[in-house]
Amino acid sequence: MPSGNPSPNHILSRLSRADYRLLEPHLEPIDLPVRKQLEERNKRVAHVYFMESGFASVVANGQRNIEVGIIGREGMSGLSVVLGSNDNPTNETYIQSAGQGLCMAAGPLRDAIGASVSLHQVMLTYVHTFLVQTSQTALANGRSKMEERLARWLLMAADRVEGELALTHEFLSIMLGVRRSGVTTALQELERTGLISHRRGFVTILDREGLMEQSNGTYTPPQRGE
């Protein structure tokens, strides 16, 4: 039987009642403002966050930082905990679009995973989904034009946020691994063709089908239930 819990987080909503009860005493509601750090590079994961609204970016650090994944209400942070790894994260994860979520310490989650194979399986299914997303991102970053990558990213963000997207050129340049001038040019091109409207700090998608076509096959719509 499903847990019946009211959380819009897709992982939690898929747990059985028994599995959800293993987590429930440890879950705390939390506001997730922009730039809040969920995971720090080379620092042990102390807490895991189940997103309910907004989304977080997983960012790889190098000569130029670049986003490698997005976590919204379909998922959670702390994948190393789910995988049973004691290694520290090599990437940073922080909130890019403000929202709410549920937070719990990593220790009780490890205990719950150890107590329930079915709970672990639900979380491993999400890990697989996230890894597919990161591989698709790598392919898009390596092969696609700037406008195609931006179209894909805006569609992925819109899957996780209702209404207009609060996005700065600074964030978009990090997400796409390009200079701000490149972001400005790409936004102007998508606006010129009527796919989006753009004002300082905000983007509104006007033509979703057209934006999907602009992504040139790099965007995969969420599967039913994601």
The one-digit pLDDT tens for each residue of the chain (226 residues) are 555 677 899 999 999 999 999 999 999 999 999 999 999 999 999 999 999 999 999 999 866 788 899 999 999 999 999 999 888 889 999 999 999 999 999 999 999 999 999 999 999 999 999 999 999 998 888 888 889 999 999 999 999 998 889 888 888 887 777 888 888 888 999 999 999 998 888 999 999 999 999 999 999 887 644 5
Residues 129 and 152 in one domain: no
Domain limits for position 208: 144-214
Residues 95 and 176 in one domain: no
In a domain, 219, yes or no: no
Residues 20 and 130 in one domain: yes
Residues 61 and 22 in one domain: yes
Nearest-angstrom CA–CA distance, 38 and 59: 11
Beta carbons within 8 Å of 25's beta carbon, 6+ residues apart = none
Judging by DSSP bridges, how do beta strands 165-166 and 37-39 pair with one another?
unpaired
Residues 18 and 65 in one domain: yes
Residues 23 and 113 in one domain: yes
Give the amino acid at 143.
R
Domains of the chain: total: 2
Residues 44 and 123 in one domain: yes
In a domain, 2, yes or no: no
In a domain, 176, yes or no: yes
* Sign, Cα dihedral of 143, 200, 53, 30: positive
Q: What's 155's domain CATH number?
A: 1.10.10.10
Q: What's 80's domain CATH number?
A: 2.60.120.10
In a domain, 223, yes or no: no
Q: According to the model, what pLDDT value does residue 1 have?
A: 52
Inter-residue contact 45 to 80 (CB < 8 Å): yes
In a domain, 86, yes or no: yes
In a domain, 190, yes or no: yes
Residues 88 and 41 in one domain: yes
Residues 127 and 170 in one domain: no
In a domain, 3, yes or no: no
In a domain, 5, yes or no: no
Judging by DSSP bridges, how do beta strands 92-97 and 55-60 pair with one another?
antiparallel
Residues 190 and 131 in one domain: no
Give the amino acid at 161.
V
Residues 70 and 178 in one domain: no
Predicted TM-score (pTM) of the model is: 0.91
Q: According to the model, what pLDDT value does residue 225 have?
A: 44
